[in-house]
Amino acid sequence: MPNNRSSNQQSSAGSFSLPNFVVSELRSSLLSWYVESGRSLPWRNTRDPYAIWVSEIMLQQTQVKTVIPYFERWMRQFPSIKSFANADLQTVLKAWEGLGYYARARNFHRAAQQVLQDYEGQFPTDLETVLKLPGIGRTTAGGILSAAFNQPLAILDGNVKRVLARLIALDVPPSRSMSQLWELSETLIDPENGRDFNQALMDLGATVCTPKNPACLICPWRSHCEAYNRGVQAELPMSETRAPIPHKVIGVAVIWNEGKVLIDRRKAEGLLGGLWEFPGGKVEPGETIEHCIKREIQEELGIEIEVGEHLITVDHTYTHFRVSLNVHHCQHISGEPQAIECDEIRWVTIDELSAFPFPRANIKIIEALRK
């Protein structure tokens, strides 16, 4: 990448400056573009901070097209902070089922209870207070307060990082220059129209300044974009070098007894905390799937089982690892199931499984059982 930089920008290791007239042009051109090209999204039709909060939490790590039907169902089921805060966590997790990153739902529920208790159900309007709520970081807080109350607060989600990294031709991965990107986002936000500016900036990244094949010819910031002017937009933002993600092989038991199957509820912390699952565990080196299942069920539930035929193998990828669930039909032989490694155990019929919140990978097991 060439080392020449325009006079109004410095190395990514230090600070930067944009002339006032450039900042003004960037604001006005983006807002004009947004009027013509902004996306129509259901949470943009309201100024209710709760509805906007719902959308912001769901949009963490999840694409807009996936979120829209969840958002609409959620607002029908939990139309207010009070109705959500008073709901049982299992009901909340069932409504969240399939969105992943379940800590978001658990933190959101705790935060709603806090708002109901401490602020009489009224979402706070100052940044410092909002940042103390579980599950709300700087970008989420800025997103809610700008969209609901038009506050000129910066955001820095994945789309915005990409747009800003290209705007200044950032020569390191964004994760290594977060303070500079936050400073740039704060410099650019329109002091009179924080709501539309932030929505426009996210839309620009989602629809024009895309990760691959950005549509630079229709970009309102093209003339001021350092990456475009140098012809390096396809190379930016620079990516981190990532190690291959680990692969876990899991043995899973569908344990039958008198027409019912055994499910257990995970402890409330961790990646899938609070969700129900078919019991099992990680296959140890040199261990067969069948032996793993028998051992894990003895350790986790304190019962003897007979491992039967293979039902399904489910491959699923999480952010930092992937799993292969090797699922077998099993028969309960002896012993009373105990919640040794989980919070709760139940024997249920296949028809009753749909009432419980399960991880996405387990839903494929349920579909196989119904067939």
Q: Among this protein's residues, is 56 annotated catalytic?
A: yes
Taking Cα atoms as reference points, which of 230, 305, 185, 207 lies closest to residue 2? 230
CA distance 5 to 41: 38
Total residue length of the chain:
371
CB atoms within 10 A of CB 89: 15
What is the C-alpha to C-alpha distance for residues 173 and 156, in angstroms, rounded to an integer? 14
Angle at CA 294, nearest 5°, toward 293 and 299?
95
Distance CA 50, CA 121 (A): 10
Name which of 274, 234, 240, 276 is nearest 363 in CA terms: 276
Closest by CA to 185, choosing from 172, 204, 171, is 204
* Residue owning tokens 């629809």: 207
| C-alpha to C-alpha distance for 353 and 223, rounded to whole angstroms | 56
Cα Rg of the chain (Å, integer): 25
Residue partners of 259: CB distance under 8 A and separation at least 6: 349
Q: Tell me the three state secondary structure of residue 39.
A: coil
- With CA atoms as reference, report the closest residue to 151 among 179, 180, 186: 186
Dist CA 128 CA 141 (whole Å): 9
Query: 25, 56, 296, 300: which is the annotated catalytic residue?
Result: 56
Residue 92 to residues 53, 110, 256, 350, Cα–Cα distance (Å):
15, 11, 28, 22
How far apart (Å, rounded) are the C-alpha atoms in residues 31 and 35?
6
As a whole number of angstroms, the distance between CA 167 and CA 183 comes to 13
Catalytic (active-site) positions: 56
